[in-house]
Amino acid sequence: MARSSRRSFQNTVDLIVSLRPHQWTKNLIIFAGLIFGQRLFDPASVVRSLAAFAVFCALSGAVYLINDLVDRQADQRHPLKRHRPIAAGRMSLPVAAWTAVGLLAGGLVAAFWLAAPFGLIAAAYVALSLLYSGPLKHVVIIDVLSIAIGFVLRAAAGAVVIAVPFSHWLLVVTILLALFLALSKRRHELVLLGDGATGHRRILDEYSPYLLDQMISVVTASTLVAYAFYTIDSETVAKFKTDLLGLTLPFPLYGIFRYLYLVHKRGGGSPSEMMLTDLPLLACVAFWGLAVVAIIYGPQLW
C-alpha cells in the first residue's frame, strides 16, 4: 500500500512538472490589459483577468505536454531536457495524451464561456502552438516569430476578455520583446549543445551565434525605441493624463541588459527560469510594475 501511494504521488508530481508551471509566468502578460486599460481596481475585470490567466495556463500546460510527447526522442539527447518525465520514461504516454486533450477541451470551453472573442483568440493560440510543435519550429526565422506571435495573442486576449482597447504600440513592444527572448534562448541552446545542437533541434543548424547576436541587437534597440515612443505618444499622454510614463524607461533598459548579461556571462537561457531565480531581474520587473501602476493610477488615488 505504501509503495502504491508513493508511486501515485510521484506520478502526480511528474504530471505537474510536465505542465511546466514555472513557464506560466509567460501568461502574466494577460494582465497588461487590466493595468493599461485602467481596470486594476475594478473587481469584475480583475476576476475575468484571473480567469483568463487560468485558461491560458491550462492551454499552455496542454501544449507543453503535447510538445514533450512529440519531442521525447530529441529531448533524450539534450543534457537538460532528458530529465523531463516523458523523455525520461517516468510518465505514461497515454496519461500525458489524455491529460492534454482534457486541458485543451476544458480550457477552450471556459474561454468561449468568458467571451466569444476571447475564445477565438485562445483557439488561435492553441492552433499556433500546435503548428509550432509540428512544422513551424523547423522553419528558420518563422520559428521565433511564431513564439513572438504567441505572446501577442496572450496580450490581446487579456484586453479582449475585459473589453478594453489595447495600444498598437504595446502590441509592437510585446512582439519585439518576445522576439528578443526567443532569439536569446536560441543562442543559449546553440552554445549549450555545441556540436550536438542539430541532433537535438534541426533548426539550430540554420543559426549561428554571430547571426543571432546581430538579430538580437536589432530587436533590442527596436524594443526600447518602441517602448519609449509609446510612453511619450500623444494618445498615451491623453489617455493617462500624464507624461510621466517615460520615467519608467530605465527599468526595461536595465532588464534587457541584465538578461543579455545572464545569457552571455552566466549561461542563462530560459526567460521564465531567470525571472524566478535571478533576484535583480525579478526586482526590476517588480519595480517597473509598481512604477507603472503609481503613474497610471496616481491621479485617481491622490
Average of per-residue pLDDT values in the chain: 85
Is 185 a residue whose pLDDT tops 60? Answer: yes
6-20, 148-162, 185-199 — which one is most confidently predicted on average? 148-162
Residue matched to cell numbers 542563462: 268
Rounded to 5 degrees, what angle do the CA atoms 274, 254, 169 make? 95
d(CA 102, CA 93): 14
Is 161 a residue whose pLDDT tops 80? Answer: yes
b/e map 4-38, b = 16+ CB within 10 Å: eeeeeeeeeebbebbbbeebbebbbbbbbbbbbbe
How distant, in Å, are the alpha carbons of 30, 75, 181, 294 from that of 157?
Answer: 7, 31, 20, 24
Residue-number span of the structural domain to which 57 is assigned: 25-166
d(CA 240, CA 294): 11
Q: Are 160 and 142 in contact (CB under 8 A)?
A: no
5 lies in some domain: no
Is the same domain home to 178 and 257?
A: yes
| Among candidate residues 277, 270, 245, the one with its CA nearest the CA of residue 173 | 245
Total of domains in the chain: 2
Question: Would you state the pLDDT for residue 78?
Answer: 66
Is the same domain home to 189 and 116?
A: no
22-36 pLDDT, tens digit per residue, is 888 889 999 999 999
234 lies in some domain: yes
Q: How confident is the model at residue 110 (pLDDT cuts 50, 70, 90)?
A: very high
Share of the chain above pLDDT 70, in %: 85
Higher pLDDT: 162 or 189? It is 162
10-19, 67-76, 218-227 — which one is most confidently predicted on average? 218-227
Is the same domain home to 190 and 278?
A: yes
Is the same domain home to 297 and 184?
A: yes
11 lies in some domain: no
Is 122 a residue whose pLDDT tops 70? Answer: yes
Q: Are 231 and 245 in contact (CB under 8 A)?
A: yes
Question: Would you state the pLDDT for residue 299?
Answer: 64
Please give the single-letter amino acid code of residue 97.
A
298 lies in some domain: yes
Is the same domain home to 181 and 293?
A: yes
19 lies in some domain: no
Is the same domain home to 122 and 194?
A: no
Question: Would you state the pLDDT for residue 69?
Answer: 83
Domain boundary (109, 134, 166) is at 166
Is the same domain home to 162 and 283?
A: no
Higher pLDDT: 100 or 298? It is 100
7 lies in some domain: no
43-97 pLDDT, tens digit per residue, is 999 999 999 999 999 999 999 888 888 877 776 676 667 777 777 767 778 888 8
Is 177 a residue whose pLDDT tops 80? Answer: yes
CATH of the domain at 62: 1.10.357.140
Is the same domain home to 135 and 217?
A: no
Is the same domain home to 160 and 171?
A: no
8 lies in some domain: no
Is the same domain home to 56 and 157?
A: yes
Question: Would you state the pLDDT for residue 272?
Answer: 64
223-273 pLDDT, tens digit per residue, is 999 999 999 998 999 888 888 999 999 999 999 999 888 877 766 556 667
Is the same domain home to 159 and 63?
A: yes
Question: Would you state the pLDDT for residue 45?
Answer: 94
d(CA 15, CA 92): 10
Domain boundary (125, 150, 166) is at 166
Domain boundary (166, 193, 227) is at 166
| Among candidate residues 204, 123, 117, the one with its CA nearest the CA of residue 164 | 117
d(CA 115, CA 261): 41
Is the same domain home to 177 and 269?
A: yes
